[in-house]
Structure 1
Amino acid sequence: MKKIHRGVRAAFLAIAMSGAAVFAAQPAMAAGKLTVSSPQDPGSWDPIDTFLVQWAAVATNIFDGLTYRGPDLKLVPGLAESWEELDEGKRIRFKLRQGVKFHDGEPFNAEAVKFTFDRLLGDEGAKGPQRSNYAAIDSVEVIDDYTVDMKLKAPDPVLLTKLAGYGAMIVPPKYIQEKGEENFNTNPVGTGPFKFVSYAPKVNVKLEANPDYWGGAPKLSELEYRFITEPATAVAELQAGRVDIVIPPTIPIGMIPVIQGDPRLELASVPGPTVDALRFNTRSGISADPRVRKALIMAVDRAAIVQSILAGQASEIASFQGELSFGYDPEMKPLPYDPEGAKKLLAEAGVKPGATVQIDIRGNDATMNEVVQAVGSYLQMVGITVTIKPYETNVLLNDIIPQGKTGAMFQQKWGGWTFDYDNTAYAMYHTGEKWNPYDSDPKMDELLESQRPLTDRAERERILREIARYAADKALEMPLYNTNAIYGVSKRVKGFVPAPDNRMKLTDVSVE
């Protein structure tokens, strides 16, 4: 039995949003430079080295995957023109686009696809955070120059979407083999609409138009991403005209009126995949006791924080996902705001007034800093003294959290870009995962693993909802909110469509 996927058939989700066609042919002559402010330098441009949304914001313009998902969240062909499921879903055959070249002139073909996935699933991929997302893939077999079979260990209902981003971006075999892995980290080569020019760590990355791009040459001639960590600086640069777009999550709620009040600027806000929580150190300290964790959650009025600090640019969550996520349960409610109940639980757990907790946050996240100040005030009212410890983002994400060196609570911002709860829950709760430094729960592992091979959407959704309820019952985090993706845009920018997940292919954008 064959199941055919062609054209623009969506893999799992379609949300109606305005926007231009994804791959419209463009005039051969490109002109104009666009400058984008990004709050974070990913540190490496190799697709298998990163999970960061800010990597994807840039790299979507350098690399292509076999599939592509644009701002409308519909899945369409990318470097694969079509695909079909064979052997009852145990194999996917991809027909590849012909005539495509990497930026260095190397031809794109089936060997490049095989090399990409052999590398991702091999020793090199094991060094990075992406391999587990593609664990369903057993191997890739070359059928001919423009046909590959992807053999699966088990079905993965989100695989086609995963092939549109991050670790699955197709890379050039000859270039990597000749130049080496370290060189590729800082001198990336892909098949995308823009070519790499230069990279200055923590300063900028510069790109130029790829006039031979298979999807049509970009309207822009140059594209620069500046890494500006301070929100006030980014907005000031936008106002001064030295930056054309400021991308999420840079703009704090308090600075929205600044952009709205400038006649040269526009604010673009769309529902996004990003959720924020304060997760718990469940291994040591007072937060090792689930009663304490529940008390801390009950002590904080999250709805009031969303209303007063987020100014309607977010919605409260009961689990670590937003309402666009597959696995979201509209019947699930957050633990209620109940300071008296919180005091009782703390007393039961033997926690005396004056006990302290440390909350670790990203130092450049102005909105979270404000939120955590409010959290500290609420906890103070139930006898808990809060110390806030800001870290440089890369230090927090690559050292403090993965190594289990956090305080009692720590900020976790997660852009579940597949809009599927598995992508979040597996990374947060499965034993041995980078973002789960404290827990090893056989029941949770069993639940997470049981839903991955299922093709029955209803049953899989039931298990995902069970996972969310189990995590809530264990109080593994204090769920906070699902934020909108907020962009600041100069009015000289034309054709820009804000993406919920920051992954914007800027082929159709121009500047006046």
Structure 2
Amino acid sequence: MRSLLLATICLVLPIAAQAQNNLTIAAQSAPTAMDPHFHRSNSNNAILRQVFDPMMDFDNAGAIVPRLAESWRPIDDLTWEFRLREGVRFHDGTPLHAEDIAFSFARLPRVPNSPGSFVSTVRTVTGVTIVDDRMLRVTTSEPTPFLDAELTAIMILSRRLHADSTTADFNSGRAMIGTGPYRHVSYEQGTRLEVERNPTFWGGAVPWDRVQIRFVTSPASRVAALLTGDVDLIDGVPTQDIARLRSDPRIEIFGTESNGTAYLFPDAVREQAPSITDRQGRPLDRNPLRDVRVRHALSLSINRQGIVDRLLAGQGRPAEQFAPPIAVGRIPDRPAPAFDIVRARALLAEAGYPQGFRMTIQGPNGWFPGDGEVLQAIAQGFTRIGVETRVEVLPTATFFTRATNRDFAMFMTTYASNLAAITLQQVVATRNPETRMGAFNRQHYTNPDLDRTLLAAMQIMDKPRRDAETAAAMRIAMDDFAVIPIFYPRVTWAGLRARVRYDASPSWYTNANNALPAN
């Protein structure tokens, strides 16, 4: 919780002690854009939360806490009331008004070419009533118990400042005017971001005068920069280096269990899928991934415990469902998935592929520590059961664009949420622009039973009943191998002990909001 109490803590710091107190971070993933409504990804959300604020947010303990909204409550099953903080201003002095919330909601579906839209966060919102400059009421088309959790994702813009702003305007810096603790200074795409302390931040003084975040995809280069003192903090610490860094008296390790899941997403829909052939390279007459027995066989071929132990050096745990232990609404006491090569081969033969087939699987480069090695290990497991598998690792921006374009038969990525229902809604619910479900369902998976169960869960205001129904939806997804969970990552940062302390974020957020000076 320290990250969201940072502003309060900093109120007692002597101003003199903050002079020229700069922070330099080496981060593994660059944002795909600086528009806070462009791409719902961890790297974008983390970086942009320094400049922009949501109405409320999750703290690092998983509780929803106030940000621009000082209070909120459901008035009835279809109406929520929000009261904004008094005196909040954007960096140029423009005051925050309730109309800015309505504007931000309305802007979400208008952002073009989004590889991961925020629009599902307001999928049930039918109206916003401005009571006065500080109060608004949000009406929904159905009971929406997760509305406050959903709205943590939306960073608030100004109708007056951003009415005509494009993603290009944010990338150039012209539109980078928020209410957050730091003001935008400069951005070099894919290279570095620089921000400075916002002296009028509504939360009080922050500890860093200036923050520079360098985007360094090479794990070895990040570690080298830390050891030479060129940077104060790094994320994505290579798992093989954690023990060595921990033994270095100059370095401190900060880590926590994440709220994310690394998973494979098979194309279980199309009659023909790209990059799948028989063992001789000839096209197949049908897509084998449409058969649940094939998807099950591929899952059985993955040595999850071996991946965690050998490739991740214990920095994670095998995944038995598509929501980590921190998430609300997951299946209780679900057993670990089996690793059974013999059974996997039998399922392939039963599905009509006794000789297997060929396939290429893709993943992003530098998305999490060891991602390329994990993908190779998965491919080796597939090959062992007869599915001869090649790996293609791509830069993150290219990967997500191509995944959204459905260029892959199967790919690996991660999804993070504190709520199992939101994970299912975003990734495996039937993709439907009208109902704004399935925003991250890049393989267009569909299952009517899952949709019905999940939609019912998301309308139940009673938490125990809602959690039970969410777990039922999760069972449907897992039994159908809609996605194939691999492991729950443990996220780790390393910093110079004399310079910085870091409040490790389960949401994988790397930013100055979570950092405090060591002294």
Matches within 5 A, 1:164-179: 164-165=152-153, 168-177=154-163
| Residue in 1 that maps onto 2:517 | 510
Per the TM alignment, residue 442 of structure 1 is displaced from its structure 2 partner at its CA by 2.0
SS in 2 for 1:311: coil
SS in 2 for 1:439: coil
Matches within 5 A, 1:78-227: 78-86=67-75, 88-120=76-108, 122-124=109-111, 129-165=117-153, 168-177=154-163, 182-187=168-173, 188-227=176-215
Cα–Cα, structure 1 residues 107 and 510, in superposed 2: closer, same or farther, change >3 Å? same
SS in 2 for 1:509: strand
SS in 2 for 1:440: coil
Is 1:383 matched up with 2:386?
yes
Deviations 1:8-64 (A, max 9, x none): xxxxxxxxx777834412544533111112222223222211111111221121111
Per the TM alignment, residue 366 of structure 1 is displaced from its structure 2 partner at its CA by 5.0
| Residue in 2 that maps onto 1:424 | 423
Aligned partners of 2:78 and 2:144 also within 8 Å: no
Cα–Cα, structure 1 residues 287 and 181, in superposed 2: closer, same or farther, change >3 Å? closer
Per the TM alignment, residue 197 of structure 1 is displaced from its structure 2 partner at its CA by 0.6
Find the aligned partners of 1:186 and 1:422 in 2 and give their Cα distance: 36
Per the TM alignment, residue 270 of structure 1 is displaced from its structure 2 partner at its CA by 0.6
Match of 2:398 among 382, 385, 395: 395
Find the aligned partners of 1:85 and 1:60 in 2 and give their Cα distance: 26
Report the residue type matching 2:119 in the other structure.
R
SS in 2 for 1:47: coil
Is 1:257 matched up with 2:243?
yes
Larger displacement relative to structure 2 (386-395 or 179-188): 179-188
SS in 1 for 2:90: coil
Match of 1:475 among 466, 470, 481: 481
| Residue in 2 that maps onto 1:38 | 27
Find the aligned partners of 1:367 and 1:348 in 2 and give their Cα distance: 34
Match of 1:339 among 314, 337, 341: 341
Deviations 1:202-255 (A, max 9, x none): 1111100001111111111001111111111111111121221112xx223122
Aligned partners of 1:35 and 1:225 also within 8 Å: yes
| Residue in 1 that maps onto 2:279 | none
Find the aligned partners of 1:328 and 1:507 in 2 and give their Cα distance: 28
Report the residue type matching 2:441 in the other structure.
W
Cα–Cα, structure 1 residues 70 and 438, in superposed 2: closer, same or farther, change >3 Å? closer
Q: TM-score, normalised by structure 2?
A: 0.88
Cα–Cα, structure 1 residues 354 and 75, in superposed 2: closer, same or farther, change >3 Å? closer
Find the aligned partners of 1:361 and 1:180 in 2 and give their Cα distance: 29
Deviations 1:454-505 (A, max 9, x none): 1021222122111221112112232211111111111133443121113456
Q: TM-score, normalised by structure 1?
A: 0.89
Find the aligned partners of 1:119 and 1:453 in 2 and give their Cα distance: 25
Cα–Cα, structure 1 residues 140 and 505, in superposed 2: closer, same or farther, change >3 Å? farther
| Residue in 2 that maps onto 1:267 | 253
Report the residue type matching 1:328 in the other structure.
R
Cα–Cα, structure 1 residues 84 and 354, in superposed 2: closer, same or farther, change >3 Å? closer
Larger displacement relative to structure 2 (48-57 or 485-494): 485-494
Matches within 5 A, 1:443-458: 443-458=449-464
Segments of 5+ residues of structure 1 without an aligned counterpart are 1-16
Aligned length: 486
Find the aligned partners of 2:483 and 2:164 in 1 and give their Cα distance: 46
**CA RMSD, Structure 1 to Structure 2 (Å):** 2.3
Find the aligned partners of 1:125 and 1:133 in 2 and give their Cα distance: 17
Per the TM alignment, residue 508 of structure 1 is displaced from its structure 2 partner at its CA by 6.5
Larger displacement relative to structure 2 (204-213 or 311-320): 311-320
Larger displacement relative to structure 2 (169-178 or 46-55): 169-178
Deviations 1:276-309 (A, max 9, x none): 1122121343222211111111122222222222
Aligned partners of 2:105 and 2:122 also within 8 Å: no
Find the aligned partners of 2:255 and 2:135 in 1 and give their Cα distance: 40
Report the residue type matching 1:243 in the other structure.
V
Is 1:76 matched up with 2:65?
yes
Find the aligned partners of 1:21 and 1:179 in 2 and give their Cα distance: 31
Segments of 5+ residues of structure 2 without an aligned counterpart are 274-286, 432-437
Find the aligned partners of 1:451 and 1:476 in 2 and give their Cα distance: 19
Is 1:232 matched up with 2:241?
no
Find the aligned partners of 2:427 and 2:220 in 1 and give their Cα distance: 31
Report the residue type matching 1:458 in the other structure.
P
Cα–Cα, structure 1 residues 126 and 111, in superposed 2: closer, same or farther, change >3 Å? farther
Is 1:313 matched up with 2:315?
yes
Find the aligned partners of 2:423 and 2:165 in 1 and give their Cα distance: 34
Find the aligned partners of 2:197 and 2:204 in 1 and give their Cα distance: 11
Deviations 1:414-456 (A, max 9, x none): 122xx10122111211222343424222222222222211102
Find the aligned partners of 1:152 and 1:146 in 2 and give their Cα distance: 20
Per the TM alignment, residue 388 of structure 1 is displaced from its structure 2 partner at its CA by 0.8
Find the aligned partners of 1:420 and 1:23 in 2 and give their Cα distance: 27
Aligned partners of 1:117 and 1:140 also within 8 Å: no
Cα–Cα, structure 1 residues 466 and 84, in superposed 2: closer, same or farther, change >3 Å? closer
Larger displacement relative to structure 2 (335-344 or 498-507): 498-507
Find the aligned partners of 1:195 and 1:382 in 2 and give their Cα distance: 53
**Which runs of structure 1 show a deviation greater than 6 angstroms over 4 or more consecutive aligned residues?**
17-20
Cα–Cα, structure 1 residues 148 and 296, in superposed 2: closer, same or farther, change >3 Å? same
